[in-house]
Every structure is written in C-alpha cells, then in structure tokens.
Chain A
C-alpha cells in the first residue's frame, strides 16, 4: 500500500465526519425537550430568570448561528461547556474515557481468547459434542440481553458467593498514582500487586458481560471460516505431505481462517463502545457510555454532540484499521 493511497483514504474521513457533525447537531437540537426547562426542574422562577439562564447556556441564539458556532468550535477542538457540569465538555469526556477504553479492551481480549480456540476446536471436531456446545453457547451469548446477564452474574458472584465486588473500578481504599489512567496498567507500574488484583476483580464481571456477545459472534465466524479453509486444496496437500495435524492447523490453516475473524473483531469493537452504556449502568462503571445516556435524558447538547462525534470518529477509524489489517493479511486486496 502506498503512502499516497493511505493518505487519500484518510482524507475521505473528513466529509464523513462533517456529515456526522451535521446530523448530530440537528438531531440533538431538534429533539423535543428544552434544556432550560429541564434544568430549572420543579421550581418557581420568573420569566426574566428563565431568559437569563437561557442566555447563559447560549440557547438564545438562533439555531443556524449555533450550528456555525458548533462547527467552528469543533474544528478547533472546543466543544463548549457542559450545561450541567459547567466545565469544558472535552474535560468531562476525558475523565470518563479511560474507564470505557479499559473495559472495552479487556472485553475484547476476553472475546478473542475465548472465541478463537473455541471456534477452531469446533471446526476441527465438527459435529462432536464440543462443536454442539460451542454452537449452542454462541447462540446463547448472542441472544442474551446484557442487562439481564449482568444482574445474574452480580447476584451469583457478588451477593451469593461474595467473590467479586458489585460496582466501581477499584476499591476506594486502594490508592493508585495516575500515569496512564488505565488502572490495570497503573497499579502494575506502581508495583502494587494487590491493587492490580483488586482492579482485575472489579473489571471481571463487566468485561465478561460486555465481551460475551462479541465472543459468541467471533466463535461462529472462526468456526465457519476454519471449516472453509480446512477443505481447501492446500490443506489437503499439506496433509498428503504428511505434516502433523497441529502444524497444519496452526501454521497453515489458522493464518487464513483468522482474516474474517480479525475484520469482524475490528468492526465489532465499535459496538463494544455502544454496549458499554448498559454494562456501565449495571456495574456502576464510571465510563463514557453512562454519561452520554444521562446527558441525552437531560438534553445536555454540548456533551451529547461531542460524545457522538467521538463515537463516530472511533467507528470510522476502526473500520479503517480493519481495512488496513485486511490488506496486510490478504495481499490480493488493496485499499
């Protein structure tokens, strides 16, 4: 892949993001519900006080002026003040982002390390008990709603067995020096093994709840593509050469069979961010998803707009990464 092509692809992102910006702005602003009314809540206020608050929140300007302001601000990386936090939106989002990313990454790792071996085994031992278990298991994983499965895990592991904590990222007694803001890394950097274990115990249930549907999908994808690959001529040839089965599977078949798995994984990683909203609410995980949902309900426009833009950028970038990975693994495809 030439650098020019790569750069060209990168440039294509801009119209996409501009479009997303447009849609996000007007969808949030045109949804019924008045942020000023919501903020005032159940109180008696005079009309002047209401007008003053509207002015303070910048909502007294006509919508086209607000849009121009939104776009010009966004380009300079200024997303305005959160109506409710009364602090810059970028700052508020930045505080929550590490938790979301950490959870997504651990969920992704969980999905990969369970689905790939399971999918491969299911394909090799097709129509055996193991295959059936994997198939039924993945059906179960895809169809299980996170809000139900999460609560179930909580009741079993936190209430009944008391092995794992209910909520949060780490015990409030554990002090972690801030370096990367990813607690699993920061605790290790600080040499705190007990802190690491505590962070791991906290992330365990949310990561499983979040990663399970993805693991289920990837198991199916891996199984299918593995089955396809093992029926191809070059595998038969390898078998004819008398190579050991393990070598055939791991050295020859897997490399090709994983192409669809990696592609799907990259795209699905985007949906991990979306699925976060539910998991974060159940496990009191201080991430971005929960913040966005809360903000939608109270019509906190600046925060919702910035967060949705962020999600869009992430999705587009992940797709881009998937494309690049694809070309790397399959030289026949070009960007």
Chain B
C-alpha cells in the first residue's frame, strides 16, 4: 500500500513538473514563400509551404493519385463540363464556414483578367480553357470549359481555395501576408526570409478521406526554416535544428546515414533529364549521329556512380510514373563499336567535336557524360553558363535558329500528365522545344490526345507518339532523378511525395 502510494505520488509529481511541451516539426527548406496568396505566384516551393495552410478541391496521395479534399466527389457531365460536390461544415481559420460561393470566387479570381485589384493571376494558364464556374446548389459547383481539357483533374491539385468574404475584406494586398485557409495549419508568424511558423488548426475538417488518418494534424506546430545552402541544411539536420531537409545532395548521403540522427528517404521525382541535340544543323541533323550518341552513353554507369543509383533511366520524355508512358520502348544499348560504326556511316570516321552546354548545378554530371561519350569518338566540350542565358539560345520557339550542339537539360512535370511535358518539349516550335524537332505525325498525335476525353484512347495516342520520338531520338533521354530528403528519426509518418509537396498533416513527432 505504502509502495503504491509512493508510486502514485511520484508519478503525480512527474506529471506536474513535466511541462506541456509543444511538438514541432521543423523543415529545412530552400527558399521563402514569395507571397501568402495562393493565387498570386508561380513558384512550386511557395505552393509546397502554402499547401499546409490552404486545402484544394482535390489533392494527391503520395502515390500521385488525385483524390477529393474539400470536394466530396466529382462527376464528368460531358467533355467540357465537371460537377464537384462540396463537403459541408468546412471551416476557415477565422471560423467562417466554407460555401460553394467561395469555390466559385476562388476560380473566378484565378481566371478573370485583372480580378486581383487590377492584377491578373499568374496561375491563370494552369487552368487551361476554363470558362465559367457556376454554383448549382449549396453543395454543387459546375466547371465549364471552352474546349475539352482532359487534364483538368490532374491540374486541379495546383489550386487552393480562398474565402470570398476574407479576400473582399483584406484585398489582394492583405492576401499577400495573411492566411485564412481551410488547411490543417494556420499561420502564426511569417518572418520574411527566415521562417514561417504555423500552428495546428483545431477545427480542421480532417482533409481528404482517402488519405488516412483523417482528423486534426498530429503536431502542434510546423516551422519552415529558410536555409538556401545545402551544406548548411545538412549541418542543421545533424545538429537537430531541423527534422526534414529537402534536396539532400548525393555527396552528403553517407554522412547523414552514418549519423544516427536522421534517415535518408527518396522518391521518384517528376523531372525528366535529357540531352538535347541540335537537330537543325550538322552533325545532329543526321539520325545516325543521334543514334550514335545514344549508344555511346553508358547511362547505368552514370546513374550508379554520380547519382548514387537514385535515378530511373528513361527512353522517352515521359517518366515511368507518368500517364501514357509506353512501357515497350526499346532502350538504346551501350555499345561503343556500334556508336563508332554509326558515326562512320554518317561520314564521321574520326568522330565529332561538339559542345555540351550545361548550367553550373549539373556541371559534374555533364562532365561525366562527356567523358563516357569520348570513348566512342564523340568529343564533347562542356560549356558552363547561367541557365537563363542557355535557355535563350536553345528554346527559341522557332523564332530564330537554335545555337549550340548539345544541351544537358531537363523539364519538370508535376502533374505527371503528358500535356505538361510532351507537348511543350516535343511539338513543333513549342516553348520548351530545344531540339528543333518537328514531326507532323507527332504533332497530330499530341493535338488529338489533348482533346481526347477517354483515358484509354488518350494513352494509346501518347504511346504511339513516344515510340516515334524514341526512334527519331531528337534528344538523348537520360533519367528521372529521385528527390532526396534527410528525415529525423524522431518523425513518424513522413513519406516524400513525387510532386515535392511536404504535407505535414499526418506526420507525428516524438
């Protein structure tokens, strides 16, 4: 009895002296948000942070499936009309209840010229030919498009819902620094350039029903700390200053793994790397030379040695995770003799001397590529320059000839739908076309696909287009690298997402 009493007293004492400690998750992030207004920026990183405070009509799971979030479900009425059912009793951070009017207002604000106190949303083009939004009843909103736009639901996770009343009250100016969303966390403080401190929103409706657990966020606070330099982020992770570190450099992986403090996690990214070849002039106007470069490159070796194995090789522009990806594409085999033979056939028995443009961040990889190519007589001189300058020389949209021989480049495709990458990179004179590739059949297939609503038919069109591009190989398709994170062992439930979102609703900390 005495013993029991003692234990009880002791445990009561312990309970009394242990302070109520707030659990925090601190993320070491590369940059600050540009604005708190989800409609007034065009920056992936800004969206990643805002997404913890603002929810959308739909969201993505970590396996990239689009699922309802604020909406309950949606219904494709016809190729140009979508109806969304809205969940009821969703609260904004200020206590107001979300209505269908808020949804309409959010999207009107995004697509209407000068709707934001004289400014037009820079996110307008992410909604394609969206024309009108109509409130059908208090739980249904209708979206109508000028022309069919089959990727609507794939693009919808990029938009967040705002409160009509709040925006009208604070204006676009106020929206840039204040947050009143429906997300799991509310803004506590924005120390510009330094950190964003968020607190749990206790009236949260729970989020997407398809992403378990549904309910309030697990931790009390989330802090995004801005640490642009990767070596400093590693230092912060190892000293326990942060719990999640983004963009862990390959050369620091071993250091983090050895540390006992954090784990390394990675996930397939959505950015396709490729080496553009200037198809407009010699030597790369000759298919045999382009094939030779493909055979001369030992992709597996570079992925293994330079990228620590953390990349997936590709044989076309699409990521293996993308919709419409053709699994039957034939990879070009590494074959030095065949490369040499193809070069000789094309009239270059002594090989070729070319330049390989690259921006500073990928210099090391490009140099490795060049040294491998040299074995087959493709002597590429790596030329490092700033990305905006190189882009001006290569992505000319047909307005002037492309300058350069080869370019080590990439294109991101957060939606994982071919529209976001295949069209801009491979269509004739498209804004991301850096090879000068122009093929009427591919253009036709892609145009047709962008208007086809039935997924199976669309898929087939893209697969056909991929096959042609793979054979004509205007670029050497390289790999899709993984996004690498350092994650503290004190976190539970964090899973990196291919679209690089860091949604901390379901993550707990000990």
Contacts and interface: CB of A to CB of B under 8 A. Distances in A.
B237 to A, nearest CB: 9
Contacts of A291: 193
B424 A286 contact: no
B163 to A, nearest CB: 20
A169 B388 contact: no
B349 interface: no
Given A95-B193, A168-B195, A87 B229 contact: no
A133 interface: no
A56 interface: yes
B241 interface: yes
Interface stretch (A7-15, A186-194, A249-257, A276-284): A276-284
A52 interface: yes
Given A52-B113, A56-B119, A167 B241 contact: yes
Among A56, A166, A282, A291: residue with most chain B CB under 10 A: A166
B424 A42 contact: yes
A284 B125 contact: no
B420 A32 contact: no
B331 interface: no
A160 to B, nearest CB: 9
B125 A45 contact: yes
B228 A33 contact: no
Contacts of B423: 44
Contact of A169 (B119, B194, B271): B194
B386 interface: yes
A291 B227 CA distance: 13
A223 interface: no
B278 interface: no
A159 B238 contact: yes
Interface string A34-63: 100111111111100110110010000000
Interface stretch (A103-111, A115-123, A150-158, A236-244): A150-158
B152 to A, nearest CB: 14
A52 B120 contact: yes
A96 B193 contact: yes
B223 interface: yes
B412 interface: yes
Contacts of A33: 386, 388-389, 391-392
A171 to B, nearest CB: 10
A100 to B, nearest CB: 10
B205 to A, nearest CB: 27
A294 B388 contact: no
Given A33-B386, A166-B241, A96 B395 contact: no
Contact of B421 (A42, A290, A298): A42
B312 interface: no
A32 B192 CA distance: 30
B232 A166 contact: yes
Contacts of A38: 388, 391
A172 B232 contact: no
A84 B41 contact: yes
A37 B395 contact: yes
A283 B225 CA distance: 11
B236 interface: yes
Contacts of B176: 85-87
Contacts of B238: 159
A84 B227 CA distance: 19
Interface in A280-301: 281-284, 286-287, 290-291, 294, 297-299
B490 interface: no
Given A40-B42, A151-B232, A167 B225 contact: yes
Nearest to B425: A42
Contacts of A172: 189, 191, 195, 197, 223, 225
A39 B42 contact: yes
Chain B interface bracket (under 10, 10 to 19, 20 to 34, 35 or more): 35 or more
A37 B228 contact: no
Contact of B227 (A42, A85, A87, A167): A167
Interface residues of A, number: 49
Contact of B231 (A32, A41, A56, A151): A151
B226 interface: yes
Given A151-B231, A284-B225, A49 B43 contact: no
A165 interface: yes
B411 A42 contact: yes
Interface in B185-238: 189, 191-195, 197, 223, 225-229, 231-232, 235-236, 238
Nearest to B234: A159
A32 B229 contact: no
Nearest to B418: A44
B413 interface: yes
A297 B195 contact: no
Among B197, B227, B232, B386: residue with most chain A CB under 10 A: B232
A155 B235 contact: yes
A180 interface: no
A314 interface: no
Nearest to A55: B120
B232 A154 contact: yes
A87 to B, nearest CB: 6
A166 B413 contact: no
7 contacts: A33-B388, A42-B411, A43-B420, A86-B122, A87-B35, A151-B232, A282-B229
Given A44-B431, A284-B225, 14 more contacts: A34-B391, A42-B420, A49-B125, A85-B176, A86-B176, A95-B192, A95-B193, A96-B192, A96-B193, A158-B235, A167-B226, A167-B236, A172-B195, A290-B228
Interface of B: 31-32, 34-35, 37, 40-44, 113, 119-120, 122, 124-126, 173, 176, 189, 191-195, 197, 223, 225-229, 231-232, 235-236, 238-241, 271, 386-389, 391-392, 395, 411-413, 419-421, 423-424, 430-432
What 5 pairs across the A-B complex have the smallest Cβ distances? A286-B193, A33-B388, A286-B194, A49-B125, A284-B227
